[in-house]
Amino acid sequence: MPENLNQLIRELKQESCPARVKDAVRRQIEAQPVYTGGLHRFIPALAAGLALVCGLLTWQWQTGVAGRRQAEQTRQAQARLQLASETRDAVALIGAILAEAGSHSEQVISTRAVPPLRNGLQFAKNKIIEHLKP
């Protein structure tokens, strides 16, 4: 059998396709429409568009986060300014009341009222300073 197989292989190597068959096959291939496919042309454009949209969404998200952070810092600064203003007004009122009361009863105010008020104001001032520290 191996001799027959070797002989068959030699004969097949010598075989060639007739020219009319080659021409017929060539005509059939040329007659078929060639599909160029439009989808593979749009894949890079689609990927670029998708990357652009993702970039824009990320940029918009980051801008929103930064804006919210800045708004929160502004609100905190305004609250601190309002607290400082109210404290200044309260201390001025207490000072005016003490000055008026002191003119009427200087001795009683200076010995009984001023030390506790001074200590209370000092305590309040320290608390406010601690609160205003960032």
What are 80-114's pLDDT values in tens digits? 889 888 888 888 888 888 777 767 666 666 677 77
Between the alpha carbon of residue 24 and those of residues 17, 18, 33, 35, the distances in Å are: 11, 10, 16, 21
The pTM of this model reads 0.36
The predicted-structure confidence for 9-35, as pLDDT tens digits, reads as follows: 777 777 777 778 778 878 887 777 766
